[in-house]
Structure 1
Amino acid sequence: MKNDQIKNIIFDLGDVILNIDVPIASKSFADLSGREQAEILTIFKESEIFRQFETGTMDEPSFRNYVREILKFPDLSDEAIDTAWNSLLLDLPPERVELLKKLATKYRLFLLSNTSSIHITQVNKILKASTGVERLEDLFEIVFLSYEMGLMKPDTRIYQQVLDKAGLKAEETLFLDDNADNIRGAAQLGIETIHVQKPVTILEYLQDYAV
């Protein structure tokens, strides 16, 4: 149900705007290295490589070198690593972008994503190919990315930074995310939330807001 107090909408990226399938990445790295997918998942979890990359403590060259190190595969090319890492990024339905354009006539729109620079480069390519829109910044007033902020959802500090930087009041702000922990983090600050759960999409969740 529509909340008439809402003036601002913050969107997550993966499985909210862009369809993703996270396990595909670990399978891609397993195929590259000749290891089992379960082993790859364990290696990545223990090294916290993706957390480091997505909070900006590791840049692109460091990330790629660390992948080579933990997979014990020194000859792995930059391109192969990037392709495997980006394999979890699927399609971006054009109708979701059309919804964003419609919402932008009534609300201030923002993006808040736990992500990495390699992913954002690829997302912008997918966005342009599917909709003609050059980059995410063309759809949102401000794009907030974890690797630039040094924080990740569901840390409440990341939501507070968004509110402060954009000059938003929590009670006038709606946040959509597919991760329940991220929803709870935002709700702790008094932000209105919608937990996006497939197969329902933002087209249905925000139908009343787009009218």
Structure 2
Amino acid sequence: MVSKRPTGVLWDVGNVIVRWDPRTLYSKIFPDSAERERFLAEVCTPAWHIEHDRGRPMAEGVALLAAQFPEHAETIAAWNDRWWEMFSGPVAETTGAIEALAARGVPQFGLTNMSVETAPGTFAMDPAFRHLAVIVVSGEHGLIKPDPRLFALALERIGRPAESLLFVDDSAANIESAAAMGFATHHFADPAALRPALEAHGLL
């Protein structure tokens, strides 16, 4: 039990509010799972993609990688050209929680590692995003979670102290960084565990 209850929620977006996985797209391109995993581990890697979240234009990232792996140029281009095929819709449990919190008047905000190019389309995927008063997008600031500077920037934009917010994220590293800054935290690993966590913090 936390000593001081949070009065608002700060949400991550990818795989918390909406489901995103490159495999959803690349399973169509590489039916063989071993070939698909090798491509995602060696070509379109997380380290390459995170630079889009840091602000690099997607087309620039694709061009750089295609020059490095010309034999994969077409499948690399799909990362940008077929981006929306990586999504499989909102997480129902989170949508329900956001709506329930909004009904109780609980302030809600967003903090996401995301390209500025893809943010508007992502936020259009679920009407629940309308309840997030402020959404800080990493690509706008050249910083990515778990950098404490991005959390500090979000707090400045939101106008609340860390102790007043429950931070919900699927990344253990991001949770650790937020906890060190004083946020109450919930590591989003099982959608069914979300509502009980919100209840335990007195938010629902």
Could you say which TM-score interval applies, normalised by the shorter chain? 0.7 to 0.9
Measured after TM superposition, the shift of residue 193 of structure 1 is 0.6
Measured after TM superposition, the shift of residue 59 of structure 1 is 1.3
Q: Are 1:189 and 2:181 matched, yes or no?
A: yes
Give the 3 Å change call, closer, same or farther, for CA 201–149 of structure 1 in structure 2.
Answer: farther
Report if the CA contact (8 A) 1:10-1:112 is conserved.
Answer: yes
Q: 1:98 and 1:195 mapped to 2: Cα distance?
A: 18
Q: Are 1:13 and 2:24 matched, yes or no?
A: no
Task: Provide TM-score, normalisation by structure 2.
Answer: 0.78
Give the 3 Å change call, closer, same or farther, for CA 15–61 of structure 1 in structure 2.
Answer: closer
Report if the CA contact (8 A) 2:115-2:139 is conserved.
Answer: yes
Q: Are 1:87 and 2:85 matched, yes or no?
A: yes
The one-letter code matched in structure 1 to 2:101 is L
Give the 3 Å change call, closer, same or farther, for CA 30–205 of structure 1 in structure 2.
Answer: same
1:54-93 maps to which residues of 2 (within 5 A)?
54-56=53-55, 58-72=56-70, 76=74, 80-82=78-80, 84-93=82-91
Root-mean-square deviation (CA, aligned residues, Å) is: 3.2
Measured after TM superposition, the shift of residue 85 of structure 1 is 3.6
Q: 1:11 and 1:99 mapped to 2: Cα distance?
A: 11
* Equivalent residue, structure 1, for 2:143: 151
Using the TM superposition, name which of 192-201 and 117-126 deviates more: 117-126
Measured after TM superposition, the shift of residue 111 of structure 1 is 0.7
Task: Provide TM-score, normalisation by structure 1.
Answer: 0.76
* Equivalent residue, structure 2, for 1:130: none
Q: Are 1:141 and 2:133 matched, yes or no?
A: yes
Report if the CA contact (8 A) 1:99-1:210 is conserved.
Answer: no
Measured after TM superposition, the shift of residue 67 of structure 1 is 4.3
Deviations 1:30-70 (A, max 9, x none): 57xxx653144212349x321211100x1133133234334
Gapped regions of structure 2 (runs ≥ 5): none
Higher strand share: 2
The one-letter code matched in structure 1 to 2:8 is N
Q: 1:180 and 1:83 mapped to 2: Cα distance?
A: 30
* Equivalent residue, structure 1, for 2:194: 202
The one-letter code matched in structure 2 to 1:206 is L
1:167-182 maps to which residues of 2 (within 5 A)?
167-182=159-174
Q: Are 1:120 and 2:119 matched, yes or no?
A: yes
Q: 2:39 and 2:185 mapped to 1: Cα distance?
A: 36
Using the TM superposition, name which of 150-159 and 16-25 deviates more: 16-25
Report if the CA contact (8 A) 1:26-1:41 is conserved.
Answer: no
Deviations 1:113-156 (A, max 9, x none): 112235434423432xxxxx2x83x2211011111121111111
Q: 2:11 and 2:199 mapped to 1: Cα distance?
A: 15
Gapped regions of structure 1 (runs ≥ 5): 128-132
The one-letter code matched in structure 2 to 1:109 is Q
* Equivalent residue, structure 1, for 2:44: 44
